[in-house]
Amino acid sequence: MRNIYKVLASQYDPLGFILLYTTRAKVLVQRLWDKRRDWDDPLLPLDLLQAWNSWEEELQSLPSINLPRCYEPKQVDRSNVIREVHVFCDASEKAYGSVAYMRTEDSNGKLHLSFIMARSRVAPKQLHSMPRLELCAAVTGAQLAKLLEKELTLKIDKTTLWTDSTTVLTWLQSESCRFKVFVGTRVAEIQELTNCQAWRYVDSARNPADDITRGKTLQDLAKPNRWSQGPPFLLQDLEQWPVMPHTGTEEDTAELRKSAFCGHTSVSPNPQGSDEIQCTTWKELLEVTTRELHGAASQGGDPKAEDYREAEAHIFRRIQQECFPDELRLLKAGKAVGTSSRLLTLAPELDDTRELIRVGGRLRRAENLDYATAHPIVLDPTHHFTRLQIKDYDSRLCHPGPERVFAEMRRTFWILRGREAIRRFQHSCTDCRRWKSRPVVPKMADLPAARQRLCKPVFYSTGTDCFGPFQVKLGRRLEKRWGIIFKCLTTRAVHLDILNNLSTDSFLMAFRRFIARRGHPLRYSRTKERTSVEEKESCTKHSRIYPQTCRHSLQGKAQPVAEEVLRTVFIEVEGILNSKPLGYVSSDVTDLDPVTPNLLLMGRLDGSLPQVVYPESEILCKRQWRHSQVLSDHFWSSYIRHYLPSLQVRQKWHTSPADLKENVVVMLVDPSYQELSGLSVGSLKFILVQTGMLGPQKSR
């Protein structure tokens, strides 16, 4: 067996031109595996061994096989030709396969045929009917057509597929769901890969794929034949091509799924109660029922209370007649309900006054207990009128929890599975859902582009905010000063400055100082037509920054200080914040230093530390500007390796809520009544007063 596989695998035939020869060997190998054998078993069946030796002797004729690689002659004008691909399929009890040819028609009307590609498969050991094997061959043909459509670089004007099985053609014109799994899956695959209108019938005598199932020797393949040159009828006019036989073909019912009846039975509502069914509230239902029962009598005046009580009893009787007909019939006859009844555990009894089924229960001897409470009326939870009763109680009790509604209704009614019915109603009640709903928090968004300006200067993307005021002492008077913070959205570096007031001029002066020290932020555009104020406004495309971090660093004494002291404190706070680690700080001294904004601003972790000395191997040149570039590159490399990956995790809002649909109850939250994620300037001022940094302001 090992030698057989070695010889068979040595025949490299990617186009399948000698499939007529190699398929014979595949069939022999399949027969050799009928019994369990070892790879080196010498005791092979004599007849199969002789057949293999005969097949192997034919390999001497392999050099005589020639295949022209051009699809059309050289003299054909390729600018105006019509190319068609024709795929033929056939199957037998031993093997099945398909072969493709290209039919080319030049501008002069001359036709040329050429071999493209072929495929073959050995029939499975499990016995299948011939229509099934023909269908498997059609699957290989559809796959081959799809492969050529994808891989050929030439323009293909039309693709036609041929089979000699009328049963397969009938299957392909039907829906795949009608057939059993084996046929249905293959029909669905063929219909997906090809157009059903592209399949045609060809008789076996003119089908070149029939040679795959019969096999040929290499000596026969070396001679001119229809396998290498294509079927002759493709060189004729379309009128002379094979057509579907006119004899009627009966459908193979053995491959059809068993039919099953699927019906729906519905009972139309009682026309007399159509108005009641349309009622949406218990009050409307009661009014409609009262009019139906006492319409003529009430024309002279409004209905009385007794009329409404009678209408209410009529509604309860109708519920029980529709939901408990057997129990009502047995109780009227003076018999007990059946053992399979839903009311068996309630020991039901009939109210002789109004003919209503009530709970018998175990509370007959209770003192000072109303009759309706000891023997409530039994109701079915699925009835429309029962749901209206639940809705009425829920509305009158101002939409409380289900237990409150259940307890109130239990005093008069016994609804089967009452808690579940009330919960089901409140789940669909708009008002209940509005009072009990909570805001849906969307999934945390991705980091904006401003947070990821890698390898850019510090403060390339900047956010700004103001905070304060702070009292400073000028001589013998007290004045107010405000703080302004500029924050780099990428490196988290901060720049603090003092504002004399909250005017536009004061801000623009602080902004000019910021640009002079830190550089222009992103998107700064300058035009001649703009004034200086407009120029500043064009580059202040900043995000709002809540200065809660500065608040913790500015805690101190409450008494006013000199302006120079306040300015010094601001700069020191700026240094503290810029030396704050951006990520996790390891307690191991052998680990790398944490990433801080000062690494990019000053080239070192802290301003109090000495200047970092880098080895000569890390310095590109002795020029200072290149040395600073090395320091910047080191910062960004450390930033990307140690801090940037920590931003991947969504700390909250991990899931995305379902999209809003029509008729879904939503609750709109007013941000002014919610706690903000950051601190406003007023909140910062209040905290500074509480912590002692700012003293209580005196009214002037």
* pLDDT-wise least confident of 66-75, 215-224, 290-299, 625-634: 625-634
The pLDDT assigned to 608 comes to 57
Residues near 652 by beta carbon (within 8 Å), at least 6 away in sequence: 441, 444
- pLDDT the model gives residue 450: 80
Residue 304 confidence class, pLDDT cut points 50, 70, 90? confident
Interhelix angle for 282-294 vs 384-396, to 10°? 120
* 335-365 per-position pLDDT tens digit: 888 889 898 888 899 887 888 999 888 888 8
- Alpha helix locations (H) across 152-201? 166-172, 181-193
381-414 per-position pLDDT tens digit: 999 999 999 999 999 999 888 999 999 998 899 9
- pLDDT, position 611: 46
Higher pLDDT, 586 or 164: 164
DSSP 457: -
Name the band, by pLDDT with cuts 50, 70 and 90, for residue 276.
low
Is 251's pLDDT higher than 70? no
Higher per-residue pLDDT: 586 or 544: 586
Question: pLDDT higher for 440 or 222?
Answer: 222
Least confident window among 326-330, 345-349, 527-531, 556-560: 527-531
Could you tell me the sign of the dihedral formed by the alpha carbons of 687, 693, 698, 699, in that order? negative
158 φ, ψ (degrees, to nearest 5): -160, 145
Confidence of residue 699 (pLDDT cuts 50, 70, 90): very low
Q: How far is CA 358 from CA 157, 347, 353, in A?
A: 81, 9, 12
Distance in angstroms (rounded) separating the CA atoms of residues 167 and 255: 11
Taking only Cα atoms into account, the Rg of the chain, rounded to an integer number of angstroms, comes to 45
Distance, in Å, from the CA atom of 115 to the CA atom of 158, rounded to the nearest integer, reads 16
Place 476 in a pLDDT band, splitting at 50, 70 and 90.
Answer: confident
Mean pLDDT of the 471-499 span: 89
Checking if the pLDDT of 676 tops 60, the result is: no
Q: Rounded to whole angstroms, how far apart are CA atoms 594 and 604?
A: 11
pLDDT of amino acid 696? 46
Cα angle 489, 494, 495; round to 5 = 125
The pLDDT of residue 64 is 87
Q: In this structure, which amino acid lies at residue 226? A: R
Q: What percent of the chain has pLDDT over 70?
A: 80
Mean pLDDT of 97-119: 91
Instruction: Give pLDDT, residue 250.
Output: 63
Question: How many other CB atoms are there within 10 angstroms of residue 177's CB atom?
Answer: 9
Tokens, residue 45: 């069946």
Q: How much is the mean pLDDT over the chain?
A: 79
For residue 319, give the nearest of 289, 287, 293 by alpha carbon. Answer: 289
Helix (H) or strand (E) holding 478: strand 477-488
pLDDT of 578 > 60? The answer is yes
Q: How many residues does the chain have?
A: 700
Q: Is the pLDDT of residue 241 over 80?
A: yes
Tell me how far apart the alpha carbons of residues 511 and 540 are, in angstroms, rounded to a whole number.
9
Place of tokens 């009966």: 250
Give one DSSP letter per residue of 656-679, joined into a string.
Answer: PPPPP-TT----PPPGGGS--SS-
Using the predicted structure, report yes or no on whether residue 115 has a pLDDT greater than 90: yes
- State residue 159's pLDDT score: 94
User: Residue 114: which residues within 8 A CB-CB, separation 6 or more?
Assistant: 68, 70, 71, 72, 101, 102, 104, 230
* Position 673 confidence tier, pLDDT thresholds 50, 70, 90: low
Return d(Cα 114, Cα 266) in angstroms, integer.
Answer: 65
CA angle 106, 119, 156 (to 5 degrees): 25
Would you place residue 605 in the very low, low, confident or very high pLDDT band (cuts 50, 70, 90)?
low
Are 649 and 512 in contact by the 8 Å Cβ rule? The answer is no
Across 19-28, 274-283, 547-556, the highest mean pLDDT is recorded for: 19-28
Contact at 8 Å (CB) between 518 and 495? yes
Q: Higher confidence at residue 593 or residue 108?
A: 108
Query: What domains can be seen in the chain, in order of their start residue?
Result: 2-64 (no CATH), 82-233 (3.30.420), 271-436 (no CATH), 458-578 (3.30.420.10), 598-644 (no CATH)
Q: Where are the strands (E) in 518-600, listed by range? A: 561-562
Assigned token pair, 394: 């829920």
Section 620-647 average pLDDT: 57
Half-sphere exposure of 599 (CA within 13 A, CB side): 20
Place of tokens 């000891």: 374
* Tokens, residue 195: 């157009």
Give bridge partners of residue 470 from the DSSP assignment: 481
Cβ atoms of residues 91 and 123 within 8 Å: yes
**pLDDT band, residue 267 (cuts 50/70/90):** low
For the chain, give the percent of residues with pLDDT over 90: 25
